[in-house]
Structure 1
Amino acid sequence: MPEDFDTLLSTIATSAGAAARPRGPEAARRRGATRTLRRRVAVSALSAALVAGGIGTALAVGRSGGGPVPPPPAVSPSSSTGTSHPSQGPSRSPSASPAPSTSSAPGDVAPSLSLQLPAELAKGTANQVGFTVSNPGAARTETVTVDLGAPTVGSPTSTTPQERGIVQRQDGSGGAWVSVPVGYTKAGSGNSAADTATYQLSLPAQATVQEQLRVTPVGVESVDFQVTLADGGSAPVTRSRTLPLATPSLTGTGPASVAPGTTSAEFDFTLSNTTTADYSGVGLYLNAAGSTPNCDFTPFATAQWWDGSSWRTVSLSGQWPKLDTIGLGAGQSVAVRTRLVVPATLASCLKRGEVSLIAANGADNPAGGVVSIPTDPDMTVRGDAPFFSIG
């Protein structure tokens, strides 16, 4: 029994010391010794008690290299070691799971649109306007529709306007002005109609684009100006404003009477441009006529106008002859001085007369009333001096 006891203690010490050594062949021998130990421990309760005492001794002195064996670090049940197991996948806290996205795809976010317009639009000349498009989503191409409002038509049932507006777009910042075709759209049998221009606009992703336009609207007193964006996906974006349609003004003054066989005093006309637009190629057309019914309507054959350095004679036989072509900038006024050559012999029925001036941008000949061709809008204003008596 003592020999068995000594053998048992030796086996226990060897097993306990092996547990503190690195893995490898020693670990294999330790596992074999442990199995032998378990069989002997089952023999008696006394052996089990001695085994417990032997383990304590072995742990204190049995490690090769000396010194106590440090206990393994404690691991809290709530902490994560970050170890991945192939059968389970990476360890992940339930709170780390991303929430489902509720935002729309970037390409579905409609762009925003704002207009930069003057207080009024000038008829018959190019007005510079602009609009800004902010695209918060993906890159897209928008169809831009510019509505210049209703032009002047001959009658409510007319399918062709008397004149058509013009739209130009600047090709990039500081680039050339490119014409955009304008079409006349008439809706139904009523008076709903508009001049519209359409073009494609590319919008980069998450970017702002500034567009510059020059528009020449036509019509009567105001313009329902509108810009619409549509890409076929999101709902169209529209901005509009009603603007006055302004033109330069033309006023005339003159003598109260003229005497036959003389050159009259001056009939002076003032052409004032109070709009913010510039006019070029403005023609000045003069006419003089009698006002008495059933009498010669064109009793005055010639007139004179001041060209800045001398008086020039112009024939009135064709009615509304052109005196000159001028430019008229924004805020500019031009004075036109005329005189009437009064024949010595006039019809006895002629008692009163009148001198008039027309300023027209784009019209070649306003004789018999100014009517423009549909593709060439113009500005036309008329100024009349007060009636004068003859005799």
Structure 2
Amino acid sequence: MRRDTTGRYEITSTAGEAVRAFVPAPLPPKPPVVLEGPLQTLHEQALLACGRLDGVSSLLPDPELFLYAYVRREALLSSQIEGTQSSLSDLLLFELEGAPGLPFDDVVEVSSYVAGLEHGLTRHAEGFPLSSRLLREIHARLLARGRGADRLPGEFRRSQNWIGGTRPGNASFVPPPPGLVEDCMAALEQFIHGGPEGEHTLPVLVRAALAHVQFETIHPFLDGNGRLGRLLIVLMLIEAGVLGQPLLYLSLFFKQHRSRYYELLDGVRQNGDWEAWIDFFLEGVESTASGAVATAQRLLELFRVDQARLMGLGRSGVSVQQCYRTLRRRPLTSVNQLRELSGLSFPTASKAIETLVGLGIAREITGGRRNRLFAYDAYLAILSEGTEPL
């Protein structure tokens, strides 16, 4: 459906140049979005896929061990969309050693995304509502280090920004003037929580689709808007109870369909084609949720097979089992970390990881005799699928 009015333009001056900045109309769209026909069917499929994902997460022997790596996978993918070139192993090595890694700024950026995401999840668990304040808190952690640290972390922008082009005059899109950002975000927060009456008239997957576009259109920060806008989706789904664990991230889908993603955002802004965007978004939810279910099932099978290989080890079996459980929690690790997390002594942990290497479950990756590092290659391979740099 095409809509005549999706917002208005404000003529402002930036660097001595007249600029047409777009101010989006408050959500929900008018006339309202209607779920019917193929769109309704797609919504039902996406919701069922989320239910299957929420169910399979309860089958994991320890959801935290999956979340540890899965959250980092999302941080990597979301940051790659912004142009970083790190790998999952780069990030895990950086967190393990604080080592420079290559490229250093990219790894710091991905690590900061992890910090921001985990802060948002912790605050939610504490009962703090999804709000502009929480988004600013997360943003402060996203930009705490490395590139962007001088781009007002945790604060709405106080100057005009733009997307594409070398200056506002040749930009592909100019968000609202800085003086209107606060009001736009207040309206978005009100929509997220059901409007003035606090009652939702649209299902949460559709609300998340609308809110993501609105956030990206407002572009309230000088930097980090893309990453935070993608994180907003999963926070909304968790707050609404659609997901019990933060396991649904659309960054891989957006990365794989990057051109279409930006084309549809422009379609909403230019002619109000929310339905085309929602169709794409729901397709992404269904595809991503189904992919996450398949990943979780593959990991469960990997753990089952490798666990079976540890049977019959005799007296050393108990310590090797402890070491293996720790390796599942930290698939790239050192003997020191194994010792700390498993409670084993250094000699016992060292001997146990050597047993896992001998069985082909772990691999020593430094080739040295000191400060050795070990990788659970099969686990990392599954989690790294689709994370190759753009």
* TM-score grouping bracket, smaller chain normalisation: under 0.3
| Structure number with higher helix proportion | 2
Q: From the CA coordinates, give the structure whose radius of gyration is larger.
A: 1
| Structure number with higher strand proportion | 1
TM-score, normalised with respect to structure 1 = 0.22
TM-score, normalised with respect to structure 2 = 0.22
